[in-house]
Amino acid sequence: MQNQPYQVNSGKRPMQELQKYIDKTVKVKLKSSTVFKGVLVRVDVYMNTYLTNAEEYDEAGRMVASYGDVIIRGNNILYVSFGDGLLI
């Protein structure tokens, strides 16, 4: 059996799935290929994502900046991951 990352079943509601990861470190990849890594504080109904202790990474995986708190607009998000698994 191959080791496959955890993936959300398309039948589940993404908001409910993301709520499980409040206070845990997540990675948020944007459509622009920028990645933010930080502790998930909140997700609203528009999938706007609130992170604390956030770090920004470029396409090559190099850290660009370190922030306290960031708000990422939901329509810019490509996916959210936790560890090696894809959440949404």
39-69: per-residue pLDDT in tens? 999 999 899 999 999 999 998 889 999 999 9
- Per the domain annotation, does 7 fall within a domain? no
Q: What is the pLDDT of residue 36?
A: 96
Q: How many domains does the chain have?
A: 1
Among the listed residues 39, 43, 11, 45, the one whose alpha carbon sits nearest the alpha carbon of residue 25: 39
Better pLDDT: 60 or 6: 60
- Token pair for 35: 């990645």
- Per the domain annotation, does 70 fall within a domain? yes
CATH of the domain at 65: 2.30.30.100
Range of the domain at 36: 15-81
Q: What is the pTM of this model?
A: 0.79
